[in-house]
Amino acid sequence: MRRTLLLLLLGAAVFALALGCSSGNGGTDPDGPTEPAEGSIGPEGGTLELDGEAKLAIPAGALADTVDFSIEENGSPTAPPANKQFVTGAYNVEPSGTAFTTPATITLEYDEGDLAGEDERSIVIYTDDGRGWEALTTTVNESDNEASAEIDHLSEFVAAVDIGSSADGVFAALRINRGVIKMPGMEPIITDFLQAWFDSTVSPCAPASPIMVDSVTCDEYVLEWSAVGTLYQYMPVIPIPFLENGETYTFDIDGGGQAPDLTVSIDFLDSSPCITEPEMDDTVSLGGFTVTWDVTGSENIWLTIIGVGGAGFVGVETANTGSYAFTAGQLNELSPAPYVLTLNYVNAENIDEPGYDPDSYVRAQVTSAISMTLE
């Protein structure tokens, strides 16, 4: 049972590491969809709200008769529009097709941790009535983390941000990853994996418009195509370390005519730091706390506090001195809740090769993660 828990925690750290610069959950709810909201609204107008996630506001005179409405999260929405990432759940508002003589308003609540580093003002609400996603004119209330759009009929609604732009050549992201988890009284648990993706858009956080190539290897390791992640990946079935600190690793790409052939190398990090304080499942103060880790070095450290279930996000880059003190001011937008604290140690270089977008990169990264509670 304890080993299963450790592997689950390790998997969560690896998943956060794999997302790279996107630390959010893409608008999904880890506890599953909320129970539907139901209610009747007539000619006098009214509002129906789903537990602070989605709200339908109908003005007076928009309906001729009383209608029974519902809002329900769709756990399996269609894929997002090209180069977009969902930042809220997708919501079916029924009865689908119901028309309004005066526009109603749909409002979706988002979490800043799901924005993949994009500006809140770039959020757009999309609707899908069976013909594909269509963008709606959207107003963003940054203080309340809400996006709203006027609608003339009901269908499915979701909010998204743009995560990619047209690439000048092929965009490539080649990554050497290590995840480290330290449980109290135990040696660190380490898992290594390799990733590569190729895009027709610049999409540094996750594949947006994937391109398939003939083969991807990193030294003796062969990366296989993952249809789920739409990228190439090598990960042992049982989490074990296979990377060597300080070693140089070389990616060889056979583009097969879809991308230029490529050979590029990166030095793996000289150490694999892990968080020593707080410890796993500690409770720390919203008034401020100090993070310590067990290794110092020349490269900077990126620390993130990621809310579980959309409780917020804080990220800082700091010198690798072995400690960093979060202040109350940095934490003032977070709520008392469970969080994941991650430490990221990164060596990255851009790929400057003919046929590749200049934002393409090869990266070596070590991520250490713990769960904790802020209160």
* Residue pLDDT, tens place only, 150-169: 999 999 999 998 766 678 89
In 3D space, the residue among 225, 236, 215, 233 whose CA is nearest the CA of residue 176 turns out to be 233
pLDDT tens digits along 250-301: 999 999 999 999 999 999 999 999 999 999 999 999 999 999 999 877 778 9
Whether residue 356 contacts residue 316, with contact meaning beta carbons closer than 8 Å, is answered with: no
φ, ψ dihedrals at 5, nearest 5°: -60, -45
Residues 6 or more apart whose CB falls under 8 angstroms from that of 45 comprise 58, 59, 60, 61, 62, 63
pLDDT of residue 104: 96
pLDDT in tens, 79-137: 777 667 788 989 999 998 899 999 999 999 998 877 766 778 889 999 987 777 899 99
Cα 223 to Cα 233, 257, 258, 350, 357: the distances in Å are 5, 18, 17, 21, 22
Q: What is the pLDDT of residue 24?
A: 35
In tens, the pLDDT along 209-253 reads 889 999 999 999 999 998 877 899 999 888 789 999 999 999 999
Which of 39-43, 93-97, 333-337, 367-371 is predicted with the least confidence, judged by mean pLDDT? 333-337
* Single-letter amino acid code for the residue at 146: E
Q: What is the pLDDT of residue 33?
A: 53
Give the pLDDT of residue 237: 83
Gap between the Cα atoms of 222 and 237, Å rounded: 14
Q: Residue 64, class by beta-carbon neighbours within 10 Å (0-12 exposed, 13-18 middle, 19+ buried)?
A: exposed
For the ranges 61-75, 176-190, 281-295, 353-367, the lowest mean pLDDT is seen at 176-190
pLDDT at 26: 44
- Name residues whose C-beta falls within 8 Å of residue 313's C-beta, 6 or more positions apart in sequence: 23, 24, 111, 112, 113, 304, 305, 306, 307
DSSP assignment of 173-240: EEEEEEEEE--TTSPPEEEEEEEEEEEEEE-SSS-SSB---SEEEETTEEEEEETTTTEEEE--SS--
364 has which bridge partners?
176, 347
Burial (CB count <10 Å: 0-12, 13-18, 19+), residue 262: buried
What domains can be seen in the chain, in order of their start residue?
A: 2-22+165-374 (no CATH), 37-162 (2.60.220.30)
Question: Residues 299, 260: contact at Cβ < 8 Å?
Answer: no
Residues 33, 150, 313: CA angle, nearest 5 degrees: 45
Share of the chain above pLDDT 90, in %: 59
Closest CA to 343 of 238, 188, 126: 188
Confidence check: pLDDT of 140 > 50: yes
Distance CA 59, CA 137 (A): 18
